[in-house]
Amino acid sequence: MTRALYSLCGADERRFFSPHCWKAVMALAHKGLDFEEIPTTYARIRAIGGGVSSIVPVLDDNGRLIPDSFDIALYLEEVYPERLSLFNGEGGKALSRMVEGYSQMIIHPAIMRIALLDIHANLDEEDKAYFRESREARLGKPLEVVAADSEAEKASFSAKLEPLRHMLKFQPYVGGQTPLFADYIVFGALQWLRVSAGLAMLAADDPVMAWFERCLDLHQSCGRTVTAA
């Protein structure tokens, strides 16, 4: 069986940085499924499967193409039910949707403001032009203007993780005693920050950092295959 995951990379094809691609990587590893990770720049996305998706990750499971990290997790759960569950039932799927909302509405915008210029600097020249044009259209400002507030954003970033910190008083993972896809959602966001700009804004003794280190160690430490910025 041939299984491949198209994941976003910068000019250095070894540095996968997308939060959504990391979710899919962790989901595949959680299921114990072998796969090849295909370095994919923004410019190469439209060539995947003849244009099957405008975003990555895209999973190619022996010719079946599945885009979107959450859809990939749902697919893996359905097609490989005999392997370790990513959700532990319908309640876990509902939990993961809530965590996805928290991550993408609260954590992601903060990381974008912190790491915007770092992400841009790590892209190849073709992707730099695309990234600047698309993000400036979305943000309504030049990248440098948005990034001017990055130090203030770093100072306030820890507070945005307080819901996760509260949960960690009661259990080691979002999924309980063991991780579920909900963990990989927030892990993907912090891995994006770690790879792009580093995590110096979080204290070493922060319970969130302890949880993140546990996640980095999961699945033969696959999260550590890319070094921190």
Domain boundaries, the chain: 3-79
| 3-class SS of residue 65 | strand
Q: Which two tokens stand for residue 142?
A: 């030049």
Burial class (CB in 10 A: 0-12, 13-18, 19+), 137: exposed
Q: Tell me if 68 sits within 8 A of 19, measured CB to CB.
A: no
Q: Which two tokens stand for residue 81?
A: 């039910």
Instruction: Quote the CA–CA distance of 21 and 8 in Å, as a whole number.
Output: 7
CA 21 to chain centre: 5
Q: Where are the alpha helices (DSSP H) in 178-206?
A: 181-196
The model carries a pTM of 0.97
Low-confidence ranges of the chain (pLDDT < 50): none
| 3-class SS of residue 177 | coil
The CATH superfamily holding the domain 3-79 is Glutaredoxin (3.40.30.10)
What is the reported pLDDT for 220?
98
Instruction: Quote the CA–CA distance of 18 and 174 in Å, as a whole number.
Output: 21
Q: Identify the CA nearest to 27 among candidates 71, 91, 63.
A: 71
Cα atoms in the Cβ-side hemisphere of radius 13 Å centred on 174: 28
Instruction: Quote the CA–CA distance of 145 and 117 in Å, as a whole number.
Output: 10
Instruction: State the chain's maximal CA–CA distance in angstroms.
Output: 50
Instruction: Quote the CA–CA distance of 42 and 127 in Å, as a whole number.
Output: 6
What is the reported pLDDT for 162?
98
Phi-psi region of 179 (alpha: psi -120 to 50; beta: other; left: phi over 0): beta
The CA-atom distances, in angstroms, between 37 and each of 9, 40, 118 are 10, 9, 23
Q: Which two tokens stand for residue 167?
A: 């949960």
What is the reported pLDDT for 2?
84
